[in-house]
Amino acid sequence: MKSSFLTNRALLLAFAVTAVLSVYSCKSQPEAAAEAEAPAPAMEAVDTTGPEYTSRYICPMYCKGSGSDQPGTCPACGMEYVLNEDFHETHADSTSAQ
Ligand SMILES: [Zn+2]
């Protein structure tokens, strides 16, 4: 009977210690996670292969869905297309080239 009482006390003590420890671990977990995580925001890799980058005329803001062979305005933001300096003719049929 005595040993059972002691065991109960030990269990209670163990439970209390576990509860306290879990509270502390819960408090310290977010900090540890914040330290482990990279502080820099996840930047989306810019895809420069789309028509908004490779067209002859492109939106200065590189809006999705912009880009054209002819001058015009961006359908996304309304800005005037600019001549794409990085545009390269795939076929040399232009007399103004070079
Ligand atoms: Zn635009």
Is residue 80 packed enough to be buried (19+ CB in 10 Å), middle (13-18) or exposed (0-12)?
Answer: exposed
Place of tokens 């977990």: 29
pTM > 0.75: no
Q: How many CA atoms lie within 13 A of 82 on its CB side?
A: 10
Residue pLDDT tens, the chain, 98 long: 556 677 788 878 877 777 777 776 655 555 555 556 666 666 778 888 899 999 999 999 999 999 999 999 999 999 999 999 888 776 555 555 44
Contact 72, 59 (CB under 8 A): no
* 74 sits in which H/E element: none
Q: Where are the domains of the chain?
A: 1-40, 44-92
> Which residues neighbour ligand 1 (ion) by CB within 5 Å?
59, 61, 63, 66, 74, 76-77
DSSP string, 79-93: PBPEE-TT---SS--
Q: What span, in angstroms and rounded, lies between the C-alpha atoms of 33 and 37?
A: 6
Question: Residue 85 Cα, ligand 1 centroid: separation in angstroms?
Answer: 17
Question: Residue 42 Cα, ligand 1 centroid: separation in angstroms?
Answer: 23
* 57 sits in which H/E element: strand 57-58
